Structure 1
Amino acid sequence: MVLVRTKKELASLLSSFRKTKGLGLVPTMGALHQGHMTLVKEAISQNENVIVSIFVNPTQFNNKEDLEKYPQTLQADIALLKEVSDKICVFAPNVEEIYADKVKTKVYDFEGLDKVMEGEFRDDHFNGVGTIVEALLILVKPDKAYFGEKDFQQLQIIKKLVAVENIDVEIIGCPIVREPSGLAMSSRNERLSSKMRKEASFIYKTLTTAKNKFGIESAKDVLEWVESEFLKHPDLDLEYIAITDVDTLTPIQKKQKNRKYRAFVAVYTEDIRLIDNIALN
C-alpha cells in the first residue's frame, strides 16, 4: 500500500507505473464501506495499477454543517483497502493541495442533466463535483474511472463532463451495493441510529414495489402512490420522487416504447439525507 499526499508525490508515482494493462481511478470522499470496495475490486480486475483518491471536496457541499460532519477516517479507510489488496495506491491530498489558496468552483454546461432532482435541491452541487472530478482525471490520467450507480445522476453528469471537456477516459458505472435490509450503502448510514438504519429499509422496499407497479400502471399513478406511502411513515421525510429517462434524466410525461426509465428518491431522516434509485424497465 502506497500513500501519497501531494501532486508532486503523485506525479512521481505515476511515472513509475507501466500502463501496459491500464490504470484505474476510484474517486472517493473516504469513510469507505463495502460499496466502495466493489468499485475498487472492479478496478483491480480491469487494470494493472489502481489509485483510490480520498478527498472530502468542499465545493460539492451546499450545507457547511454537512461538510463539517462528514466523517474523515483515513487510517480506517487504508486498513479496509489493504483487505482488498496491498497494491492499491491511495492519493489523499488536503484542500490546499487541490485548490491552492482559493477554493473555487468551475461552471459547466451539463445540458440540463444537473437541473433536475439533486440539482433542484442542491444548488451548484454538480459544478462542485465536476470541478474535483476533472481535476483528479487530469492529475491521474487514468484509462478508466469507476463510480457507483447509487449516485446515478452524478454518473450521467460525469459521462457528460468527459465528453464536454474531451478527457480521454472511460467512465465505468458499478451497481448499487446494499445492506442486508436493502438500504443502499452510504457513508451517511453510519450517522443513523440503529432504529432508523433498520426503518430506512422502507426506502428500497417502496422503490421495489414502485418498479412492479410501473409495469402495469401509469407513471403519474406510481409517483402518487410513492408519495402516499411516505406520508404514512413520518420518520422518513420524502424530499422528492422522480421518474426520468435514463439517458436525458428528463422527467417522464408518458411512457414510450424502447425508452429506459429510472426512479429516484431523496429522503431526510434524523437530519440525514439519503438518496436511492432503481431501474424500472
Structure 2
Amino acid sequence: MRFYRATRFLFPNSLRLRMFAICFVGTHVPLFALIGWEAWRGAIGWTPVIVVLIAMLAGTAFSLAAINALLQPVRASARALRAMSDGKAAPLDQMDSRDLMGALIASVNRAATSAGERMRELGEAANRDALTGLLNRRGFHALIEGGEGEEERPGGTLALIDIDHFKAINDDHGHGAGDHVLRLFAQRLIAGLRRGDVIARWGGEEFLIFLPATTMGDARAIIDRLAGESRMEPVAAIGGCAITFSAGLTPWVAGHPHEAALLRVDAALYAAKRAGRDCIRETAGMTLSA
C-alpha cells in the first residue's frame, strides 16, 4: 500500500498509465546503462542504441498489454462490488487459479453469495408479519403485483376476515394474550386453507385471503367451514364465549385492478360487522370469469 500511495503522483486517476510509467522506466535501465557506457568510452554507437530502444519499446508495449489483461479480474471484482453496493449480488465466473487473482475472485464470490442471501432475508422479512409469519400488506401487494401483468393473472375471490370483539381480549387479558390469539388464529387459517391460497395479516386483527380460481360459491363454503370450526373448536374464548370472526367476500375478476376488489371486500366486511358480527357478507354485481 505504501508503494501504491507513493506512486500516485504520477497519474492519480489512472493505474494503467502509472504502471506504464513504471514499466517504461524499469525496462529502459539497460538502455540508459548502454548510452552511459558508450559515452564513457567516448564513442557512442547509435545503431545498437536505436536497435535496443526499439526492442525495449516493443517489450514495454507487450508488458503493458499483458498487465492490462491480467488486471481484468480486478476490474470485474470492482464492478461486482459496485453492483453489491447497489443491491445486486452477481457472483463472478470462478477461477481455478490459486494465485492472488484467484483468491480475489473467490473472496468476491463469497461476499456476493453472502450479500445475496442477506438481501433475500431482508426482503422476506420486509414482506412478512413478524408476529404471525404471514405476509403483510407489502408482501401481499408484492406477490399480487409481481411477475406478469394483472390482465394475465387468474382471478379468484378475496376474503377479508376480522376477529370479533378482539379489543376485549387486549383490554381484559393484555396484549400478550391478544398476540397469542393472533398466532393461533393464523395457524388455524394456514391449516384450514389450500396450499395455493394466499393469506396475509392485513392489520390488527384483520386477515386477507386470496383464493385463486375460486368462485364466490366455493369461497363461501370454505369460509363457512372455517367459521364453523371457530365456533366448535375456538382458538380462545372471551367470558366463556367462543371467539368468532366476521368476513367479507368479493370476486376479483381476471383483468380488473385488485385495488378495486380490496375496496369492495372491505365494504363487505363492514357490512358483516353492522349485521351483528359472526357472519359473512358478499358484494353483488360481479361474477368470476370462467
TM-score normalised by length of structure 2: 0.23
Q: Which has the larger radius of gyration?
A: 2
Asked which structure has the greater RCO (Cα within 8 Å, sep 6+), the reply is 1
The structure whose residues are more often strand, as a share, is 1
